[in-house]
Amino acid sequence: MEPATQQQALIDSDPAFKSVIGQSKHRITDDRTLLQAVMDFANDETDSEPVRDSWRQSLAMDIGLFPPIEQPPSAWRKYEREVRNQIPESKIDKAVTNDQQRAKNVLTEAMQDLAALKTRLQRYAANNDGRLGMVRTPVLIQQDNDLRIEWALEGGASLITILSYAAALLITDEDHVRRDLCRCSLDTCSKFFFAKKSKSGVGKPRTRYCCDEHMKKAHEIDNARRQRVSKEKRRQAALQRQRRGRGK
Q: Which residues bind Zn ion (CB under 5 A)?
A: 184, 186, 189, 191, 210, 214
Least distance (Å) between residue 44 CB and Zn ion: 13
Question: Which CB sits closer to Zn ion, 136 or 214?
Answer: 214
Least distance (Å) between residue 159 CB and Zn ion: 25
Question: Which CB sits closer to Zn ion, 18 or 191?
Answer: 191
Least distance (Å) between residue 215 CB and Zn ion: 8
- The CA-based diameter of the chain, rounded to the nearest angstrom, is 96
Question: Which CB sits closer to Zn ion, 17 or 209?
Answer: 209
Cβ(39)–Cβ(28) under 8 Å? Answer: no
Least distance (Å) between residue 214 CB and Zn ion: 4
Q: How far is CA 3 from CA 8, 34, 41, 155, 156, in A?
A: 6, 21, 28, 14, 17
Cβ(107)–Cβ(84) under 8 Å? Answer: no
Question: Which CB sits closer to Zn ion, 118 or 196?
Answer: 196
Instruction: Tell how far CA 22 is from the center of its chain.
Output: 9
Question: Which CB sits closer to Zn ion, 134 or 215?
Answer: 215
Least distance (Å) between residue 189 CB and Zn ion: 3
Question: Which CB sits closer to Zn ion, 16 or 189?
Answer: 189
Least distance (Å) between residue 193 CB and Zn ion: 8
